[in-house]
Amino acid sequence: MPNESAVDFETDRRIHIALAVKDLEKSRAYYRALFGQGPTKERPRYAKFEVAEPPVNLALNEMPVPTAPANAVAHFGVQVKSTAAVKEIAARLEKDGYELVPEEHVTCCYAVQNKVWATDPDGNKWEIYVLLDDNGTSYASTAAKSLSMAGCCAPTPAAKAAPVGTGCCTPAK
């Protein structure tokens, strides 16, 4: 039995997410592009991605039942450290044929961000973003306009790229 007290919580912590997916092959390809690595464990109807950056343990469970977006999840996100990192992930996703919705200098959840939205094969929306201003003060006009909007949400499927300074987590149509 492993010694649990030997766990270094500063380096061994990661969020675990288990997603029900309809088609494991399609989902595996999407998450390989998103994370830039393949699964660390694969079994029939199962794949697990243990990613160091961002620290996440994502399990994909192929299910014969309806999957997202019917599930009650608004969206998932990956916070990165730079706009260059957003663009690097976006390039991998785009290279593999995934449609993206980019946003620059938008105020979302009371913070100014550069981001790109992508949707996995089951309809789960993923926001890859960098915080430019966590208090929403650098871009005062954008923040003042957007902070009055309630909540954060993902772009609609028909949404196109948003112009600079549009609303809270939803690209303009």
Contact present, 132 and 112 (Cβ < 8 Å) = yes
Per-residue model confidence (pLDDT) at position 15: 85
Asked if pLDDT for residue 167 goes beyond 50, the answer is no
Task: Select, from the ranges 1-5, 71-75, 142-146, the one with the highest average predicted confidence (pLDDT).
Answer: 71-75
Edge-first strand listing for the sheet containing 100-108:
76-79, 125-133, 111-119, 100-108
Beta bridge partners of residue 50, listed in sequence order:
57
Asked if pLDDT for residue 27 goes beyond 50, the answer is yes
Per-residue model confidence (pLDDT) at position 67: 77
The pLDDT tens digits for 109-141 are: 778 999 999 999 999 999 999 999 887 555 444
What distance in Å separates the CA atoms of residue 131 and residue 108, rounded to the nearest whole number?
10
Q: How many CA atoms lie within 13 A of 10 on its CB side?
A: 0
- Read off the pLDDT band of 54 (50, 70, 90): confident
Tell me the average pLDDT across 85-91: 96
CA angle 23, 80, 31 (to 5 degrees): 10
Per-residue model confidence (pLDDT) at position 158: 44
Q: How many CA atoms lie within 13 A of 72 on its CB side?
A: 0
Hey, what domains does the chain have and what are their CATH numbers? Answer: 9-62 (3.10.180.10), 76-147 (3.10.180.10)
Q: How many helices (H) and strands (E) does the chain have?
A: 3, 8
Using the structure block, give the residue that is written with the tokens 């196109």: 160
Contact present, 74 and 47 (Cβ < 8 Å) = no
Task: For the chain, give the mean pLDDT.
Answer: 78
| Ramachandran area for residue 51 (φ above 0: left; ψ -120 to 50: alpha; else beta) | beta
